[in-house]
Amino acid sequence: MKMMNMHHSKLIRKNLLTFILLLSINVSYASYILIPMDDTQTNHLKAYGITFLAIEKEINVNWLLNYKGGSFLIKTNSIIENECNIRNVSYKLIADLQATNILSAISSNEVNQESIRLEKVPRVAIYSPKNKQPWDDAVTLALTYAEIPYDIIYDEEVLNNLLPLYDWLHLHHEDFTGQYGKFYASFKNASWYKDQKKLYEENAKNLGFKKVSQEKLAVAKKIKAFVKAGGFLFAMCSATDSYDIALASEGIDICQHMFDGDAIDKNINENLDYSKTLAFKNFTLIKDPNKYEFSSIDATQTRRIKPNIDFFTLFDFSAKWDPIPTMLCQNHMKVIKGFMGQTTSFKNQYIKSNVIIMGETKATNEARYIHGKLGNGTWTFYGGHDPEDYQHRVGDPKTDLSLHQNSPGYRLILNNILFPAAKKKKLKT
């Protein structure tokens, strides 16, 4: 009897040790956090901030392209797990074996998926004036809501060669042509317009320029050099076409007298140099100062499409052969609702042949989301002003992103934020 009890006790102890061992193995195997980015995700926008935080803390992060909407696979970390809970970001703890199986399946040539390691924390700069209004910048809203850190810089910092301190630069509601956004007809008597014009003129003078247009051209050229050296440029709204117009019109006065005090040059359209631009070709400028439009590039004034049927479609790219546009197009939706801006979209006939069109409204022959390479760097142009405000007007309240935490339009912005993290080479200065 005593021997049986001893045997029973040993058996219990053995089973207990086995259980503890198995438990410890299971715990050790549950070493990855999978953040899904498909329709099951509770907060897509905050998920980008979580991923950025993981990269910042040098935790292994893989971007699983085309897997559950572009999911993130992160090495288990208590800080990241806690932040997911705090920020209401959906996640799942998975074992090593599960992670291995996912990565193995993704690596197959039979599926249009890819795993991209995110290794470097992008240093983010927002090009923005000190008098910026709440309605001026969707990217600032996105970064703030996602809890991604950034610096604000403007002309002085750019001209003083501080851009190489950053990896990623955003331009938004900006006019690089020196025409003050072409708000003249509607707002020439508004105090904010007068104050802005005065501020820009003083700023240009203090920086050693006679005209705002000359100062903005110098800034545009510095930004172009930044991209050539390996930087990442992301522009929205009027900063897209006005930027290329400034580059193409170097040496030409395209500003009417109410903007710079003298008349425009003759034959301005015949003298444009399209070889200097990033994205656009063969466009013509709109000379009329009372028209709220820069050139023939933008389709805002000519498109005939009702708001309820205004959508654009993201292209499908090969994740293994074209990882860059694939990264930039990651989303839980392929059809995105449109939104207006001073520059809403780009007419296809004015887009250079080497530019990648990533999103388009085929019915109206216009692109909404385009990408290209320049030297060692890249640029992305995104038409429209605010993805969750169809026709944002001056003075309207800013968008509350807590009401749009699953916005596919805003996801495209945040894709561009993480994209530089996949680049292993350092920025060349």
pLDDT digits (tens, 9 = 90+) for 49-102: 999 999 999 999 999 999 999 999 999 999 999 999 999 999 999 999 999 999
CATH of domain 31-118: 3.30.70
pLDDT band, very low/low/confident/very high, at 398 (cuts 50, 70, 90): confident
Tens-digit pLDDT profile for residues 113-156: 999 999 999 999 999 887 666 556 889 999 999 999 999 999 99
pLDDT value at position 368?
97
> Which CATH architecture best describes the domain 124-422?
3-Layer(aba) Sandwich (3.40)
Residue 26 has pLDDT above 50, yes or no: no
- CA gap 293, 302 in Å, rounded: 11
| Structure token pair of residue 96 | 């090593």
pLDDT value at position 341?
85
Look up residue 264 and give its DSSP letter. Answer: P
DSSP 119-163: -S---EEEE--TT--TTS-HHHHHHHHHT---EEE-HHHHHTT-G
Residues 372, 356 contacting (CB under 8 angstroms): yes
The mean pLDDT of 223-236, rounded to a whole number, is 97
pLDDT value at position 73?
98
Catalogue the E-assigned strands of 249-396. Answer: 311-314, 335-337, 346-347, 356-361, 366-374, 377-382
Residue recorded with tokens 């930027």: 243
Could you give the residue range(s) of every CATH 3.40.50.880 domain in the chain?
124-422
- CA gap 63, 85 in Å, rounded: 20
pLDDT value at position 301?
85
pTM: 0.90
The mean pLDDT of 251-269, rounded to a whole number, is 94
Backbone angles phi, psi at 379, to 5 degrees: -135, 155
Residues 37, 332 contacting (CB under 8 angstroms): yes
Q: What is the percent of the chain with per-residue pLDDT over 90, rounded to a whole number?
A: 76
Burial state string for 134-164 with b = 16 or more CB within 10 A and e = fewer than 16: ebbbbbbbbbebbebebeebbbebbbeeebe
Beta partners for 359? 314, 369
Residue recorded with tokens 């002085």: 156
Q: Is 356 helix (H, G, I), strand (E, B) or coil?
A: strand
pLDDT value at position 135?
53
The mean pLDDT of 243-247, rounded to a whole number, is 97
pLDDT value at position 428?
38
Pairing of strands 151-153, 124-127: parallel
- CA gap 48, 139 in Å, rounded: 13
Over the chain, what is the mean pLDDT? 90
pLDDT value at position 17?
46
Catalogue the E-assigned strands of 210-355. Answer: 232-236, 311-314, 335-337, 346-347
Residue 182 has pLDDT above 50, yes or no: yes
Burial state string for 350-376 with b = 16 or more CB within 10 A and e = fewer than 16: bbeeebbbbbbbeebebbbbbbbebee
pLDDT value at position 429?
35
pLDDT value at position 392?
72
